Chain A
Amino acid sequence: GDSVTQMEGPVTLSEEAFLTINCTYTATGYPSLFWYVQYPGEGLQLLLKATKADDKGSNKGFEATYRKETTSFHLEKGSVQVSDSAVYFCALSLRRGGSEKLVFGKGTKLTVNP
């Protein structure tokens, strides 16, 4: 079945450090790929998305490129801030038989220290 695997955390970085959170997927078909973020005490928010191979999603300094050949969608940011501390979820979406749902990875908790 469809699945998403992302690096386990927690990840702890100092402010201005480079961030990479790895994400790979398994799917029959051509999924759309997403990164969602959950800040402490808040709901899930879409961070960025990509819908086809080689698309790059970007938002708030974060980037991820849809790599079909490696079935990956790694999240990167060049210089993290304390305010980026949150849990990050990689997800895929596929339509099957008239239904569509998100399949999530288990989440990676990021803590950025001043």
Chain B
Amino acid sequence: GAGVSQSPSNKVTEKGKDVELRCDPISGHTALYWYRQSLGQGLEFLIYFQGNSAPDKSGLPSDRFSAERTGGSVSTLTIQRTQQEDSAVYLCASSLSGLPGRNIQYFGAGTRLSVL
């Protein structure tokens, strides 16, 4: 597809369950990012992947959160033992590798996670 694709678009789960969120970046983009958008915290960085380099996980809020990127393309964000405060819209973005500070990040439509 032409843009960043995320699935599912909506996810409702019960507290304590694990969830997996998927992101398909734009073809050819080597950098992939996850962000979280919530009412209280605004837009927060979670994790950054660039090619085969070790990811920057500095934004992950707890060890219940993890992400992987297989084959340098598709990424999965996993939240274990979900809590109500995990309810948010999870956004994925991708960009071309290029000059530092000049990459444009293209965002998917997001996954709205509701933890009951």
State A15–B110 Cα separation when bound (angstroms).
Answer: 30
Q: How many inter-chain residue pairs (CB < 8 Å) link A and B?
A: 61
Is A46 within 8 A of B43, CB to CB? no
- Give the number of chain B interface residues (Cβ < 8 Å): 25
State A97–B81 Cα separation when bound (angstroms).
Answer: 32
For A46, what are the chain B residues with a Cβ–Cβ distance below 8 Å? Answer: 104-106
For B115, what are the chain A residues with a Cβ–Cβ distance below 8 Å? Answer: none
For B107, what are the chain A residues with a Cβ–Cβ distance below 8 Å? Answer: 36, 43-45
Q: Would you call A101 an interface residue if the criterion is a C-beta within 8 Å of the partner chain's C-beta atoms?
A: yes
| Interface 9-mer from A59-67, A77-85, A102-110 | A102-110
> Which residues of B pack against A, CB within 8 Å?
31, 33, 35, 42-43, 45, 48, 50, 53, 56, 58-59, 91, 93, 100-110
> Which residues of A pack against B, CB within 8 Å?
30-32, 36, 42-46, 49, 51, 89, 91, 93-95, 97-107
